[in-house]
Structure 1
Amino acid sequence: MAKKKKSRKVGLIGVRKDPDFEHKTSSGRVKKRKGNSPGSRHNVEDKRQQKSTSGGNQDPRLGSKKPVPLIKTPVATQKRKFATPAEELAALEADSRLISLLDKLDQGKPLNKDQQHYVDEHMARHKALCELMGITADADESDDDEDEFAALDAIKLDDFER
């Protein structure tokens, strides 16, 4: 047989017949607790916050609720307001960025996506302002000249038969 280790603990030998019987401690007093509860060094802030905020169970690790954009969007430029369409048209025609981009297009150089969007947007606005003010483009006048020359080409050689 295996050797049994001796212990100093004095307990019951066997099982009591009465299940309602409560065993009294030898000294009759409650054990005094020593030290802090387990994990107390991690929960110190939580206890302070629970006392100060009675309303909710807030986690200090949670950050801002502001949504983070996942796609880069261009920064919205502040649009200037003009008193008259003539002032806006003059400002569009004096825009140095637009002029340089149009020069690039005339030279046949490619534009990136943002530059092309800028040109398209401003040229559409320029066209709308010209129509609003009743200004016609120079290209329309040259179409009239082409029509006159087209009439000369329409002469039939059958008219000049002998």
Structure 2
Amino acid sequence: MKKPTSAPRAKTRRKTREELDQEARDRKRQKKHRGHTPGSRASGGGESGRSGQKGQEKDPRIGSKKPVQLGVTAVQTPPRQQKPKSEKPMLSPQAELEQLETDERLDALLERLEEGGKLNAEEQSWVDAKLDRIDELMQQLGLSYDDDEEEEEEEGKEDMMRLLKGGN
């Protein structure tokens, strides 16, 4: 059984046919404007929601962007490899010789050799390479470290001859 409600019903007025028709037209007009705008697929309608985002989007494709050759060509040339640039600028032979003569590492290793010390294979090959380069540069410049030794030997011989002859 139904229980009676305690509050009396308020009498509502019935709508006329014109009012019902007008409400139906309004509802139809509202429904018509739902959804995406016409042509949104072609015009990129997805960007309308991201109006705050500017700049280019990241390319969603995964993989290498390196172009791939499609088909066989008559001549395939490998890409050129650039030679590594030397860090030191080209020096004149005189400047390079001077630099090698004032090299602290070379001096220290030569002193160790003179004192009777031994060098490992890497150090020995480095010293040999530097001494060979010094010899090449001296030959290019027309210098010879033998000249100084010969002059000293000649002076020593002259002194010995004076002593042997008994002269002052």
TM range (shorter): 0.3 to 0.5
| TM-score normalised by the chain length of structure 1 | 0.41
Greater Rg by CA: 2
Taking structure 2 as the reference length, the TM-score comes to 0.39
Higher helix share: 2
